[in-house]
Amino acid sequence: MRLGVAAAMVEGSLLAGDVAIEDGHVQAVGLSPAGRSGLAAPGFVDVQVNGFAGVDFLVADAAGYARAAEALARTGVTAFQPTLISSPPEVCAEALSTLAALDGGVDGAQVLPAHLEGPFLSPLHHGAHNPANLRPADRELAAQLCAAGPVGYVTVAPEIEGGLALVEHLVQRGLIVSLGHSDARGDAAIAAYNRGARAVTHIFNAMRRWAPRDPGLPGVALSRPDVFVTAIVDNVHLAAETVRLILAGTRGRLVLITDAIEAAGLGDGSYHLGDRSVQVHGLEARLADGTLAGSVLAMDRAVRNLMGHGASLETALDAATRTPARLLRRPDLGELRPGARADVVVLDDGLAVRRTLIAGREVHAGR
Ligand code: ZN
Cis peptide before 119 (omega within 30 of 0): yes
DSSP state of 137: -
Residue 40 confidence (pLDDT)? 98
Q: What is the mean pLDDT of residues 219-233?
A: 98
Distance 344 CA to ligand 1 centre (A): 28
Tell me the pairing of strands 276-281 and 284-286: antiparallel
* Residues acting as catalytic residues: 259
Give the integer Cα–Cα distance in Å for 48 and 21: 29
Give the integer Cα–Cα distance in Å for 183 and 175: 22
Give the integer Cα–Cα distance in Å for 258 and 348: 21
Distance 206 CA to ligand 1 centre (A): 7
Distance 80 CA to ligand 1 centre (A): 16
As a whole-number percent, the residues of the chain with pLDDT over 90 amount to 98
CA-nearest of 215, 205, 315, 207 to 256 is: 315
pLDDT in tens, 26-81: 999 999 999 999 999 999 999 999 999 999 999 999 999 999 999 999 999 999 99
Distance 14 CA to ligand 1 centre (A): 33
| Domains observed in the chain | 1-42+336-367 (2.30.40.10), 44-334 (3.20.20.140)
Non-local CB neighbours of 12 within 8 Å, separated by 6+ positions: 314, 318, 322
Q: What is the mean pLDDT of residues 132-159?
A: 97
Distance 354 CA to ligand 1 centre (A): 30
Contact of 218 with 231, CB cutoff 8 Å: no
Based on the number of CB atoms within 10 Å of its own CB, is 207 exposed (0-12), middle (13-18) or buried (19 or more)?
buried
Q: What is the mean pLDDT of residues 185-201?
A: 98
Angle at 191 between CA 188 and CA 197, to 5 degrees: 105
Has residue 218 got a pLDDT over 80? yes
